[in-house]
Structure 1
Amino acid sequence: MRNGMVLAGLLLLAGCQPPPSTSPTKNGHSFWYEAGYSDASSGLIVKDNETLSEWFGNPDVDRHAYLDGYQAGQNVWCNTSNVEAWGRAGKPFPASCDGTNDAETLKKVWQHAADSLPLAVGSAR
């Protein structure tokens, strides 16, 4: 019974955690800008507001800041050297680079790098 009370108290305290701050971070960008930048530079797709709210525990999503950060992440990350490295590592084409102006060129670079991987023993391509 005592352990149950302790567990209930811990769960109650964990549920009272405040949502992440949306104030500017140390480099002057908002939390949502940084979240968008991180998603793009990790090769992830754009998340919708419901998903962002659920993942970060904050219903006040700044969509504009998130998309600005996502675009900045795309601009920095979606280049031939990065997608080539992903292809050589056997990773799928990064979803964040699908919407860029040079997506077709990037896909060709990625595909060429992926095709240069040695075939695994017993695998069929």
Structure 2
Amino acid sequence: MRRACLVMLVLTLSGCYLDPYAPAPKPGPTDWYQAGWDDAMAGDPIRSDLVLAHVHNDDEVDRQEWLRGYAKGQQRICDPDFLKVQGSAGKSFPQSCEKLPDTEALRATWQTATDAGIKASRLN
């Protein structure tokens, strides 16, 4: 009886074995619009197709969709009101806002909010 229990235990545990060299399962196709939105909202700069393929683990980059999503995310994160919140929270100025025509004004808005946030934290 004891031997049968031991055999059952070994068989049960061996069924849970995971081969560390097995390839990772491939996820579904990348939503390039969402990937662009996420990259802009993370403050990432515009990337090359090679970098996008590597970061998102998908060799079939749809650059146009990624750029559309990036532009929408950039509109959101580079909004002056959003930058005020980011600055007062101590977040860094997003790189996704660096190439816009009004970058200096946006950076000034962010810097003012950052300074006010630092001052408020010192008073507390």
Q: TM-score, normalised by structure 1?
A: 0.72
Q: Indicate conservation of the 8 Å contact 2:76/2:82, yes or no.
A: no
Segments of 4+ moved more than 6 angstroms: none
Please list the CA deviations of residues 42-96 of structure 1 after superposition, one character each: whole Å capped at 9, or x if unmatched: 2222232222212222111111211121112112331111111111111111111
Residue 118 of structure 1 is matched in structure 2 by 119
Question: Which of 13, 22, 26 matches 1:18?
Answer: 26
Residue 106 of structure 1 is matched in structure 2 by 106
Residue 66 of structure 1 is matched in structure 2 by 66
Larger radius of gyration: 2
Residue 32 of structure 2 is matched in structure 1 by 32
What is the letter of the counterpart of residue 57 of structure 1?
Answer: N
Between Structure 1 and Structure 2, the one with more helix by share is 2
Q: Give distance in 1, aligned partners of 2:28 and 2:18.
A: 24
**Unaligned segments of structure 1, at least 5 residues:** 23-30
Q: Give distance in 1, aligned partners of 2:57 and 2:63.
A: 15
Deviation at 1:107, TM superposition (A): 0.4
What is the letter of the counterpart of residue 17 of structure 1?
Answer: P
User: How many pairs were matched up?
Assistant: 108
Q: Indicate conservation of the 8 Å contact 1:87/1:113, yes or no.
A: yes
Deviation at 1:109, TM superposition (A): 0.4
RMSD between superposed Cα atoms in Å: 2.5
Residue 45 of structure 1 is matched in structure 2 by 45
Q: Give distance in 2, aligned partners of 1:92 and 1:57.
A: 27
Q: Give distance in 2, aligned partners of 1:106 and 1:48.
A: 25
The aligned runs of 1:81-100 (5 Å cut-off) are 81-100=81-100
Identity in percent: 33
Q: TM-score, normalised by structure 2?
A: 0.73
